[in-house]
């Protein structure tokens, strides 16, 4: 089973340039997560946490998330509402299709101190089958404006407040009477899949079966065919037909090297973007870079040697530097001083030359 790690969070924070301290929204659904951990330390400014369809059994390690407004834990293994009292900005909580039974329904009262809470979803939990379920929740949480997608009416609020004491007594009695046994994964695994009761252990086993099936599919696919990495489209025969493109609105500099022997492309890439998502293609008069499928295509001012070109990426800043040596271009030699035959015997001239085929200075 997976755990919430810094690397996982950075991959999910690419829209925020990989920065976690200022991250306001994170989507971690369908990751096979069993625990809530690390979010309050890594992402203290988090406002939206999407954690649906995992295997989380307990709400914990959330007390420092003072800006959290929306927490989605639908389709997990939660049995009790807890440890959210200090999430002062919480306005929406989704616990759809968990395993909150009658005894767990009593814990809803803990949300009374979350004064900004307006929307709560508990549908699909065992507790929702209790006759007085809706009135109990509305009476316990007077700040609610919507329960399970239905607006709380003024009449409902009055009735719930009047009947809360009686309903609470009935709920406590029903919770004591109903013996709630929690089956282990090993116990459920011994039952045929089609006859297993729907419980937290069944959800864990179903997830394991899905992961096993996906792994088998990947292995089968890998052995039967070679994965083809996304490549560049063919260039037209006439270089004049090539258009410059910057689909990702990338920041870049295309300059000549200090000694005029090469063309250099400096491209600003987010330091948390995986290098496997970057493709580089160098043609004699064209350089192309793809980052996460978005193309930067530039014409070069001079023909370059494709075989001698290099691409390097800084581990600190993530900046990409592509060096492309000019074709048939030598280092500019130092200034040469030659005698010039003239009327003045002591007259001389400074001549700067560029070597092409020979390193000898031209005749003057």
The residue among 158, 153, 178, 44 whose CA lies nearest residue 103 is 178
Residues 6 or more apart in contact with residue 352 via CB below 8 angstroms: 332, 335, 336
Q: Distance between CA 64 and CA 45 in Å, rounded? A: 9
| Residue-range domain boundaries for the chain | 6-200, 239-325, 332-364
Give pTM, 2 decimals: 0.58
Q: How do residues 153-191 score in pLDDT, each as one tens digit?
A: 999 999 999 999 999 999 999 988 876 666 676 767 777
246-304 pLDDT per residue, tens: 988 889 999 988 888 999 999 988 766 777 788 899 998 999 999 888 899 999 998 99
- The answer to whether the CB of 117 falls within 8 A of the CB of 93 is yes
Is pLDDT of 361 > 70?
no
Q: Which two tokens stand for residue 198?
A: 């729907």
Q: pLDDT-based confidence at 363, cuts 50/70/90?
A: low
Selected from 2.130.10.30, 3.40.50.2300, 1.10.10.60, 2.60.40.790, the CATH number assigned to the domain covering 239-325 reads 2.60.40.790
Topology alike, domains 6-200 and 239-325? no
Pairing of strands 262-267, 252-256: antiparallel
Q: Diameter of the chain by CA atoms?
A: 123
User: What is 6-200's CATH number, 3.80.10.10, 3.30.70.1170, 3.40.50.300, 3.30.70.1020?
Assistant: 3.80.10.10
Q: Which residues lie below 8 Å from residue 179, measured CB to CB, with a gap of 6+? A: none
| CB contact at 8 A, 104 and 175 | no
What is d(CA 170, CA 250) in angstroms, rounded to the nearest whole number? 63
Averaged pLDDT for residues 58-77 = 96
User: If DSSP codes are grouped into helix, strand and coil, which group holds residue 275?
Assistant: helix
């Amino acid at each position: 089973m997976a755990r919430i790690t810094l690397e996982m969070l950075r991959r999910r924070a690419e829209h925020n340039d990989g920065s976690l301290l200022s991250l306001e929204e994170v989507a971690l659904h369908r990751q096979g997560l069993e625990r809530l951990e690390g979010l309050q330390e890594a992402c203290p400014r988090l406002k939206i946490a999407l954690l649906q369809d995992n295997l989380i059994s307990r709400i914990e390690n959330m007390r420092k998330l003072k800006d959290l407004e929306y927490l989605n834990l639908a389709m997990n293994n939660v049995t009790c509402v807890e440890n959210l009292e200090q999430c002062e900005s919480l306005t929406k909580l989704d616990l759809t299709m968990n395993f909150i039974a009658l005894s767990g329904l009593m814990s809803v009262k803990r949300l009374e101190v979350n004064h900004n809470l307006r929307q709560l979803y508990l549908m699909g939990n065992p507790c929702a089958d209790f006759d007085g379920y809706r009135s109990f929740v509305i009476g316990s949480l007077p700040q609610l404006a919507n329960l399970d997608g239905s607006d709380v009416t003024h009449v409902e609020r009055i009735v719930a407040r009047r009947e809360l004491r009686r309903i609470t007594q009935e709920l406590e009695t029903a919770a004591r009477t109903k013996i709630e046994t929690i089956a282990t994964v090993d116990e459920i695994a011994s039952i045929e899949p089609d006859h297993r009761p729907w419980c937290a252990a069944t959800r864990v086993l179903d997830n394991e079966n899905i992961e096993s099936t996906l792994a088998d599919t990947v292995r089968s696919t890998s052995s039967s065919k070679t994965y083809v990495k996304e490549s560049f489209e063919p260039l037209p025969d006439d270089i004049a037909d090539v258009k410059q493109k910057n689909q990702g609105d990338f920041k870049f500099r295309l300059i000549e090297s200090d000694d005029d022997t090469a063309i250099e492309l400096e491209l600003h890439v987010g330091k948390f973007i995986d290098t496997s998502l970057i493709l580089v293609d160098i043609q004699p008069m064209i350089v192309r870079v793809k980052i996460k499928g978005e193309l930067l295509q530039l014409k070069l001012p001079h023909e370059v040697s494709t075989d001698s070109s290099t691409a390097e990426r800084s581990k600190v800043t993530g900046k990409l530097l592509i060096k492309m040596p000019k074709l048939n271009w030598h280092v500019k030699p130092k200034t040469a001083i030659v005698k010039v035959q003239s009327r003045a015997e002591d007259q001389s001239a400074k001549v700067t030359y560029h070597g092409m085929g020979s390193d000898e200075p031209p005749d003057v």
